[in-house]
Amino acid sequence: MIGIDLFCGAGGMTLGATQAGIDVGFAINHWHPAIMSHKENHPDCKHWCAKLSEVDPHTDPKVPRKDVFILFGGPSCTHHSSARGGAPINDQMRTHPFEMLTWVDACRPTWIVVENVPEFRNW
């Protein structure tokens, strides 16, 4: 069972998926420190430092598209949710969660897991 970690951070979601028997073979994030942290915690995973919006998962040969069991991610939520401890401050960050839809379309996973951000329901 193949897994893809979008918006990977230190690798907590990858760890949980791995403990459930998923082979998380691909992780992507635009922030180099996140990639380095994930790589330290999950050295067998292929890592890619790029913005999801700058990658076409339909055509890029680096993106696994066959036999993807689960696609998961924790998109940035601190600007458009109460994650900072208060009211949302910047709705312009909203594009991040929607980037996952392109990957879902390209990879056609059996399962999709998105970090629980209650404000997404109002979109």
User: Which residues are tagged catalytic?
Assistant: 77
Whether the CB-CB separation of 2 and 30 falls below 8 Å is answered with no
Give dist(CA 115, CA 24) in Å, integer: 17
Which own/partner pairs from 44-47 qualify as long-range (CB within 8 Å, at least 24 positions apart)? 45/5, 45/14, 47/8
Give dist(CA 50, CA 54) in Å, integer: 7
Give dist(CA 2, CA 107) in Å, integer: 11
